């Protein structure tokens, strides 16, 4: 009997998991799952504790789901990626595995790990690599044979490719007729255990959230997605980042709600489908331009921006003490919940890089240290967009005004009051930029703005113009 091993990484699910599906195609094969935790590597990559816990919580639900398929899941504890490659190889040899099935990852360190593993793998064990983290196959090129660096033409090529060759999801494999003799690993609860009502673990929770979003909120997505006080987004990003739900399943569910149309249907559905394509675009950039996962600017001229060295200003931004209520509310949401509304991610990133003129890499790292959905491609792409150093970058002279953004997207101050409660008694008009006399008279004093916006804009323009 053949023995097939599935090496789980960012694909903690049994539904629409390409590596798992392929491993199960032989009905007579014994199938075993393996996951290798690498806490040292996670720390070196600034993975947020809440994200580490989310991964471990989802390993428990994955093990249960695999158990129903008569597939045991063995969880190994390693240190870094090099150690994980060695441990998985040792496991394969100890189990006399015939083949291993793996869904690829695309950042530099992950690719180095996989190259090390591939080189060390004996000829007796076959290895099958699959693309599963995104929807479209990698390698989309322009007519001149170059990789896409701008989203709009990439999106057109993406849609053309999908219409020509739709990449459809795979069902859950049938239960194995004979259970493996291998005993599944007992997975200890993460310490400290965080029972998070915002992000319950498991495919069922993710699928329920997807179905609810598409049934009740998808049509209003375009109108509501920029309003942080409303549940206007899908809130699926933690599940997508950990691979608890597949982007293909998300797309197919959205298409079902959009009469089968990728574009040209309901505006809300069209907009959300476009966000799924953005996710693929950032995977494409991560794969094609390795420098973005090496702390380097996508646009090389970005390395010449004269960023300020102001750690105290950075600390105030991190702690939600900038004196601009919408910025402070967003940063407190991140620290308290492990998540931040997407409109606010753009706003606080631009505040750090433009108003404070601090290096985008400081903010990128802080986000990864706190986000439950910390995905390198999307996080790096968003930060470099805001800093005008990345693909499809905002022009350096486009600088969000935090006061007007607040007035536009949180007009009543509902979101601000939720996370900056010391301002809760202010009027809807005053709360966006409280007058100095009010700041000092509050029961909990609120700081003055740390920078004057007109001055900050002028300083940023001068700094960005000097890079050429």
Active-site residue flag, 21: no
Contacts 24+ apart (CB under 8 A), 311-315: 313/356, 313/358, 313/450, 313/451, 314/352, 314/356, 314/358, 314/362
Active-site residue flag, 339: no
Active-site residue flag, 278: yes
Active-site residue flag, 272: no
Q: Which two tokens stand for residue 372?
A: 């439950």
Q: How far apart are CA 73 and CA 8, in angstroms?
A: 9
Q: How many CB atoms lie within 10 A of CB 164?
A: 7
Among candidate residues 77, 109, 252, 307, the one labeled active-site is: 307
Q: How far apart are CA 23 and CA 4, in angstroms?
A: 6
Q: How far apart are CA 416 and CA 289, in angstroms?
A: 38
Q: Which two tokens stand for residue 87?
A: 């441990």
Q: Which two tokens stand for residue 463?
A: 């700094």
Among candidate residues 199, 272, 360, 362, the one labeled active-site is: 360
Active-site residue flag, 383: yes
Among candidate residues 42, 167, 278, 422, the one labeled active-site is: 278
Among candidate residues 77, 252, 275, 430, the one labeled active-site is: 275
Active-site residue flag, 317: no
Q: How far apart are CA 417 and CA 422, in angstroms?
A: 8
- SS3 string, the chain, reads CCEEEEEECCCCCCCCCHHHHHHCCCCCCEEEEEEEECHHHHHHCCCCHHHHHHHHHHHHHHHHHHHCCCCCEEEEECCCHHHHHHHHHHHHHHCCCCEEEEECCCCHHHHHHHHHHHHHCCCCCEEEEECCCCCCCCCCECCCCCECCCHHHHHHHHHHHHHHCCCCCCCCCCCCCCCCCCCCCCCCCCCCCCCCCCCCCCHHHHHHHHHHHHHHHCCCHHHHCCCCCCCCCCCCHHHHHCCCCCHHHHHHHHHHHCCCCCCCCCHHHHHHHHHHHHHHHHHHHHHHCHHHHCCCCCCHHHHHCCCCCCHHHHHHHHCCCCCCHHHHHHHHHHHHHCCCCHHHHHHHHHHHHHHCCCCHHHHHHHHHHHCCCCCHHHHHHHHHHHCCCCCCCCCCCCCCCHHHHHHHHCCCCHHHHHHCHHHCCCCCCHHHCCCHHHHHHCCCCCCCCCCCHHHHHHHHHHHHHCCC
Among candidate residues 170, 342, 407, 414, the one labeled active-site is: 342
Q: How far apart are CA 181 and CA 70, in angstroms?
A: 10
Catalytic residues: 275, 278, 307, 342, 360, 383
């Amino acid at each position: 009997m053949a023995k097939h091993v599935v090496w789980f990484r960012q694909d903690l699910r049994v539904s629409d998991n390409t590596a798992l599906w392929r491993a199960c195609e032989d009905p007579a094969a014994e199938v075993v799952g393996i996951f290798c935790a690498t806490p040292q590597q996670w720390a070196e990559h600034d993975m947020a504790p809440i994200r580490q816990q989310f991964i471990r919580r989802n390993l428990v639900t994955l093990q249960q789901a695999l158990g129903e398929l008569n597939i045991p899941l063995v969880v190994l504890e390693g240190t870094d990626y090099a150690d994980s490659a060695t441990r998985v190889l040792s496991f394969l040899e100890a189990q006399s595995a015939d083949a291993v099935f793996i869904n690829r990852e695309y950042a530099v360190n992950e690719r180095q790990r996989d190259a090390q593993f591939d080189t060390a793998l004996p000829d007796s064990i076959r290895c099958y690599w699959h693309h599963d983290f995104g929807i479209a196959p990698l390698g989309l090129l322009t007519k001149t044979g170059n990789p896409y660096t701008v989203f709009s033409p990439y999106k057109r090529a993406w849609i053309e490719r999908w219409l020509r060759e739709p990449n459809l999801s795979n069902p859950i494999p049938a239960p194995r007729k004979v259970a493996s003799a291998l005993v599944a690993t007992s997975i200890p609860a993460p310490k400290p255990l965080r029972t998070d009502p915002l992000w319950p673990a498991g495919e069922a929770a993710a699928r329920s959230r997807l179905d609810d979003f598409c049934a009740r909120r998808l049509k209003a997505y375009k109108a509501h997605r920029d309003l942080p006080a409303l549940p206007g987004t899908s809130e699926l990003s933690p599940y997508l980042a950990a691979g608890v739900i597949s982007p293909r399943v998300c797309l197919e569910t959205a298409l079902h709600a959009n009469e089968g149309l990728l574009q040209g249907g309901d505006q809300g559905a069209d907009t959300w489908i476009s966000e799924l394509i953005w996710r693929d675009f950032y995977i494409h950039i991560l794969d094609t331009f390795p420098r973005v996962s090496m702390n380097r600017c996508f646009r090389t001229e970005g390395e010449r921006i004269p960023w300020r060295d102001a750690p105290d200003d950075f600390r105030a931004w991190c702690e939600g003490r900038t004196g601009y209520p919408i910025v402070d509310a967003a940063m407190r949401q991140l620290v308290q919940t492990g998540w931040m509304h997407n409109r606010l991610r753009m706003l606080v990133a631009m505040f750090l890089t433009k108003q404070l003129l601090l290096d985008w890499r400081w903010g990128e790292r802080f986000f990864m240290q706190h986000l439950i959905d910390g995905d390198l491609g999307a996080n790096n792409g968003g930060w470099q967009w805001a800093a005008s150093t990345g693909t499809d970058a905002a022009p350096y002279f486009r600088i969000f005004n935090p006061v007007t953004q607040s007035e536009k997207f949180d007009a009543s101050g509902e979101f601000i009051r939720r996370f900056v409660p010391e301002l809760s008694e202010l009027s809807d008009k005053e709360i966006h930029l409280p007058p100095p006399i009010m700041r000092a008279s509050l029961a909990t004093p609120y700081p003055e703005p740390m920078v004057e916006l007109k001055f900050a804009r002028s300083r940023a323009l001068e700094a960005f113009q000097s890079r050429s």
